[in-house]
Amino acid sequence: MSLETVSETRSHGGVQGVYRHASTSTNTDMVYSVFVPPQVALGRPLPVLWYLSGLTCTHANVTEKGEFRAACAEQGIIFVAPDTSPRGPDVPDDPEGLWDFGQGAGFYLDATEEPWSRHFNMATYIVDELPLLIAEHFPADMMRQGITGHSMGGHGALTLALRNPGLFRSVSAFAPIVAPGLVPWGRKALRHYLGELGPAWRQHDTVALIEDGARVGELLVDVGEADPFLEKELRPELLESACDLAGIDLTLRRHAGYDHSYYFISTFMADHVRWHAQRLAG
């Protein structure tokens, strides 16, 4: 599979790149960023950490504001940041013109409803298509993958890991939407992409997946106590209860004064990179 180099920039001894390719999953061009740390010079494949962004974001938000490169260079981690949805003039968007659905809000699932199903296949894109491209063009050890994300991307990281046991050796999240079937952002997206409330919704809901028997070994989740979406959209207490009942080792850290922004994410990003590095070593 071919890719187009949009830009490559030296950073922390490695290379921060932005790339474009024609996706067969989304039937659009997709743009993503990859940081390759200086350990590439050692000539051996390096572990990969996927970062899934939240509502309205592209690859650029975390690439420019996430402050992950120093920790990735220290730990020898390749950092991959895809876009959050397909984009383009032929891609349908929120009919209400709002920001929480459509382009920029793919919710990391494969849509089954028209007009979304032709383009909005982000689960297949993240799990199947883009990893093949990364493996072909970068020095990536695809047997050592971790995944993290923020908000909608935290939802994506958790659900994709639960739905694909063994694919990711480590899973974490920043301020994830853990029960989309119960909150406004999620209910809007699931209804449009998957149809009215039914079993398909549970396959894209972290708490429901755990209730239905899906498991990961451990989770690291950070939330800010000043996050304006904490009580209405994120509901971390539901994840805490589900993990407790399922015996999943959850480290849920609540941080006083922190909100939903990249000021919050960048503060704790190095913690997450190092946590993943420990689990991706060897």
Name the strands in the sheet holding 78-81, side by side, starting at the edge strand that comes first in the sequence.
4-11, 14-23, 28-36, 78-81, 46-52, 140-149, 170-174, 218-224, 249-255
Q: Tell me how crowded residue 181 is: count the other CB atoms within 10 A of its CB.
A: 16
Q: Which amino acid is at 200?
A: A
CB atoms within 10 A of CB 258: 20
What gap in Å lies between CA 24 and CA 29, rounded to an integer? 9
21's enclosing H/E stretch is: strand 14-23
CA distances from 169 to 39, 179, 196, 208, 251 (A): 21, 23, 33, 21, 16
- The dihedral region occupied by 74, where left means phi > 0, alpha psi between -120 and 50, and beta the remainder, is alpha
Residues tagged active-site: 151, 227, 260
250/189 Cα distance (integer angstroms): 27
* Measured distance CA(120)–CA(126) in Å, rounded: 12
